[in-house]
Chains A and B, each alone.
Chain A
């Protein structure tokens, strides 16, 4: 039986490969998600730049560089996300819309390892508001603790194999 398992295990591992690509974690890397609401006429997002700053007024703004998977990405003109090998404390975004408008946002802070924001598209600018999801934070901690517990649940199985080896 163990020989059989050792033969099919590589196959099982192959099946475990995630088939969908999500700009989320392995590394894991800090991540930001932006949701949009419109105050005026709705227009699709054509492109966007995210600026990174150390100063609270963002006077030292530098665009978030696209290095490997790091970058600011917008999807289907309606949502955006950012992934980085570490974010600076303050940020600002600039979006260009299909109707030709280019709007800038207020300065906003990183709120967590996974940060969620609501962006209100106004006539003259963008209003970015932090959305700290405490339930989300608790869920991540809970998942981590469960994962820790699952590791210990494997112990008896390991002991059985160890005894068999002896």
Chain B
């Protein structure tokens, strides 16, 4: 689980870094929010997979959609980040797609 979380935080951190620089948003705050969201959502993902291990793909897909929505909401709710709901959803989609895709091909 530590490896998963570390790799996820690293990949999502890079996306946040690029996004913050590109859209001139507060990098540190968005990174911190992303870290907070990851701790919460990765825990939920692990618990769901541990409990429903016989249904890997359905559980993974449902949880990833849930994680995307939860993280969008967290990004949006932290007002100081100056993200609109659309921006928050786009950023969350980008970081989650990146970490999900990388996760499929990384042997960790």
Tell whether, in the assembled complex, residue B32 and residue A161 are in contact, meaning their CB atoms are under 8 Å apart.
yes
Measured in the bound complex, the distance between the Cα atoms of B107 and A25 in whole Å is: 8
Measured in the bound complex, the distance between the Cα atoms of B103 and A147 in whole Å is: 19
Known: A161-B32, A165-B26. A147 touches B5 (CB 8 A): yes
Tell whether, in the assembled complex, residue B50 and residue A26 are in contact, meaning their CB atoms are under 8 Å apart.
no
A27 interface neighbour in B35, B47, B80, B104, Cβ under 8 Å: B104
Interface size on B, residues (CB 8 A): 50
Measured in the bound complex, the distance between the Cα atoms of B32 and A5 in whole Å is: 12
Quick check: is B93 within 8 A (CB to CB) of the other chain? no
Measured in the bound complex, the distance between the Cα atoms of B47 and A145 in whole Å is: 9
Tell whether, in the assembled complex, residue B43 and residue A148 are in contact, meaning their CB atoms are under 8 Å apart.
yes
Tell whether, in the assembled complex, residue A28 and residue B106 are in contact, meaning their CB atoms are under 8 Å apart.
no
Quick check: is A162 within 8 A (CB to CB) of the other chain? yes
Tell whether, in the assembled complex, residue A24 and residue B40 are in contact, meaning their CB atoms are under 8 Å apart.
no
Complex interface: chain B residues within 8 A of A150 (CB)? 39
Q: Which residues of B contact A (CB under 8 A)?
A: 1-10, 13-14, 17, 26-29, 31-33, 35-40, 42-47, 49-50, 53-54, 56-57, 60, 78-80, 100, 102-108
